Amino acid sequence: MLDAMVESESERVLSALAELLAQDVDRQRTNPLSLFRDAVAAPTALLRSIGAPPPLADSFTSERFPEDVYQLGPAAWSDIDPRLREPGLAWGAWKAMTVLRRRHEEGLR
């Protein structure tokens, strides 16, 4: 059951990631890290179904990630893999620059 869930969620996240990155930045309503954070729904449901008690969470974690009661999702790219920190930051900076440049060209900034 766990292996099937991991496989299914992996495929779902990779598909959503490919779809997101294929979109123009003005149409993107989320970011890649959020897709990984959303992947905690299935394992959270599994843990709840077997009665696993959630760990204690600090106020930051509880407020920022209220659906991730088991603290499974990444808060930052380095939580997935330390090598993803720089590419994740570069993607965010590229997207911000692209959007700001477009708004400037449109006379909106």
Residue extents of the structural domains in the chain: 2-76
Reported confidence tier of residue 108, pLDDT bands at 50, 70, 90: confident
Of 67, 87, 90, the closest CA to residue 78 belongs to: 87
Measured CA to CA in angstroms, residue 30 lies from 14, 33, 38, 48, 68 at distances of: 14, 9, 11, 27, 18
CA 86 to chain centre: 16
Reported confidence tier of residue 109, pLDDT bands at 50, 70, 90: confident
For residue 51, the model assigns a pLDDT of: 96
What tens digit of pLDDT does each residue of 45-85 get? 999 999 999 999 999 989 999 999 999 999 999 999 999 99
Reported confidence tier of residue 2, pLDDT bands at 50, 70, 90: confident
What tens digit of pLDDT does each residue of 5-31 get? 999 999 999 999 999 999 999 999 999
